[in-house]
Amino acid sequence: MKRDEVLRSFTTPLGAPAYAPTAARFTDREYLNVVYRTDPDALRAVVPEPLEFDEPLVRFEIMKMGEVTSFGPYVESGQAIPVRHGSEHGEYLHAMYLNNFPATAAGRELSAYPKVMGSPALFADHAALVGTLDYGSQRVATATMGYKHHALDLDEAKAQITVPTFMLKLVPGYDAAPRIAELVRTQITDIVVKEAYTGPARLQLFEHALAPLADLPVREVVSASHIVTDLTLGPARPVHDYLAE
């Protein structure tokens, strides 16, 4: 294989790339979002400069991907923290767990999504919408919401999904020192909201050393939403270089 061929390669392994060289389009992407109040000191310990937060809030999410080009269906879960970057309000993606390796690899390599493997699920159970997250064989989160109790304004639902998101891109060098250390920003703009609901919700987080969602404990559930969309993820761009300091 010649040098130019190596440089044209999308990802490793060269003969069987971990993911396809295409932008993924999500069809019938279903969200269960539970926004809750947490401990301010716990947030200060995980929100990186130069991001700041006004209220000690966290959004726990379960996303069921009904159809995704190149990846196929999968489920994802995680925590997002409402923050400010200067005067711009958005969310910091703190942790994401999913059951699809190509989507995990692509999210980490092509962007900066903090993805690791886990076993999330989203399903209707009688009159409740239920979202769960297991790490290995252990349950680390259970969210429940009344199933389609009240319609949510579609524009409000769109605003929830399309806030700017911030992530850390951390790539070590061969000496284990940071080779890339950036804060990056992305935003969903290509979106169609098909359904949106709100209702009563509860959230339980369980202690686990390797999936420490409970380090941001639930003090009070503030709101919940159930949203179905079609969308395409936007590209990421760096907004702060920690090594340049």
pLDDT by position in tens, the chain (length 245) = 899 988 888 888 988 899 998 889 999 999 999 999 999 999 999 999 999 999 999 999 999 999 999 999 999 999 999 999 999 999 999 999 999 999 999 999 999 999 999 999 999 999 999 999 999 999 999 999 999 999 999 999 999 999 999 999 999 999 999 999 999 999 998 999 999 999 999 999 999 999 999 999 999 999 999 999 999 999 999 999 999 97
- pLDDT value, residue 37: 98
Supply the pTM of this predicted model.
0.95
How far apart, in Å, are the Cα atoms of 197 and each of 49, 129, 150?
34, 11, 5
Task: Specify the length of the chain in residues.
Answer: 245
- pLDDT value, residue 27: 97
User: 3-state DSSP call for residue 23?
Assistant: coil
How far is Cα 99 from Cα 104, in angstroms, rounded to an integer?
8
- pLDDT value, residue 216: 98
CATH architecture of structural domain 22-241 = Beta Barrel (2.40)
Q: Whose structure tokens read 């070590």? A: 172
- pLDDT value, residue 14: 87
Return the amino acid letter for 90: G
- pLDDT value, residue 192: 97
Residues marked as catalytic: 115
Dihedral angle computed from the Cα positions of residues 162, 184, 212 and 221, in that order, rounded to the nearest 10 degrees: -30
- pLDDT value, residue 113: 97
How far is Cα 59 from Cα 121, in angstroms, rounded to an integer?
17
- pLDDT value, residue 23: 86
E-state strands within the chain: 25-37, 57-68, 74-85, 88-98, 115-117, 119-125, 128-135, 138-146, 150-151, 165-172, 178-186, 190-198, 201-205, 220-232, 237-241
Contact 143, 131 (CB under 8 A): yes
DSSP structural state of residue 52: B
φ, ψ for residue 43, nearest 5 deg: -70, -40
Contact 68, 99 (CB under 8 A): no
Residue 55 tokens, joined: 């209220």
How far is Cα 115 from Cα 131, in angstroms, rounded to an integer?
18
- pLDDT value, residue 15: 85
- pLDDT value, residue 9: 84
Residue 217 tokens, joined: 């404990």
